Amino acid sequence: SRPMKRIIEPLQKMNVSVIDNEGLLPIKIRNENKKHIPINYTLNIGSAQVKSCLLLAAFNIKGTTRIIEKISSRDHTEIMLKYLGADLKKEKNTISLTSPNFLKPKDIIVPGDFSSAAFIIVAVLLSQNSKVKIKDVGLNFYRVGLLDVLKKMKAKITITNKRRFSGELVGDIEVKSSKLIATSVNKNLSPRLIDEYPILFVAAAYAKGISIFQGLDELKFKESNRLKSMANALLDGGVKLNL
C-alpha cells in the first residue's frame, strides 16, 4: 500500500520503462534497450527515500542529474556516496550527480541510530532522578530535530565528544530528568523529526501546557496512516488532543 507514483514518475522521465499498477506495488520494470537520460527534477515533498532512489538510478547514466529539494530531507545517501568517491555536489537546495561513477571501497563505521536513542532520551526525561549517557549516536542535522524541540521544552540534554564516522557527525548524548513545558513545532521542522513524532507526542502529553504540531501530512502516507494510529493510542491513554 506504500504510494509508488512519487518514484515512478521521475524514473519514467529518465526513460525507464515502468508499468504502473495504479501507483502501488507490484510494478514492472522492463529492459527495452532505451537510452536512459539524466534529468533535472524538483522534489515537492521532503523524502529522503525518493531522493536516494533517483541518485542511485542516475549513477551510471552519462551526464549530470540534478535534484532540487523544495523541502530538505536527511542526506545519509549523499554523505555516503561522496565518502566513497562519487562526483556529487550540493549547493543550497540542489544536488548534482555527474556520472558514470566508480566508487572506491572504504571501511565504514555505522553510528548509533538516533531514532532508537529517542525512546531512551524521552524515558529518562520523564523519569525522576534519572540520567544517562548514550555513546556514538549519529547526529546528522536532518535526523536530530527532536533534540531542538526537546530543548525548547526545557529538556536537560548535552552533546559531547563530537567527531565524524565515515563522513557522518557522531557524538555522545547526555540526558537528565526534566520538567518539560509545552511547545509548538512548525511544518518546516517536520522532515527532521518525522520518525520521532510518536515519542515526541508522549513527551508532549507529560509537558505543562498545550503543544501544537503542524505539517504532519507525511504521517498519513506510506503503509498506514501513522497519524491516526498515534492519535487513537494517545486517546486510549487518556491524552486530550485535537486532530
What is the per-residue pLDDT across 191-212, written as a single tens digit (0 to 9) for each? 888 889 989 999 999 999 999 9
Report whether pLDDT(107) > 70.
Answer: yes
Set of cell numbers at residue 11: 524514473
For range 57-73, the mean pLDDT: 93
| pLDDT score of 221 | 66
Are residues 108 and 166 in contact, defined by beta-carbon separation less than 8 angstroms?
yes
Confidence of residue 223 (pLDDT cuts 50, 70, 90): low
What per-residue confidence (pLDDT) applies to 78?
A: 95
Q: pTM of the entire structure?
A: 0.83
pLDDT of residue 95: 97
Question: For position 191, what pLDDT does the model report?
Answer: 81
Please give the Cα distance from 193 to 196 (Å, whole number). 5
Taking each helix axis as running N to C, give the angle between helix 76-83 and helix 48-57, from 0 to 180 degrees, rounded to the nearest 10: 30
Q: Please identify which of the residues 20, 87, 148, 195 carries the catalytic annotation.
A: 195
What integer best gives the mean pLDDT of the chain? 92
Place of cell 557527525: 169
Decide if 87 is catalytic: no
- pLDDT tens-digit series, residues 81-106: 999 999 999 998 999 999 999 999 99
What count of other Cβ atoms lies within 10 Å of the Cβ of residue 144? 23
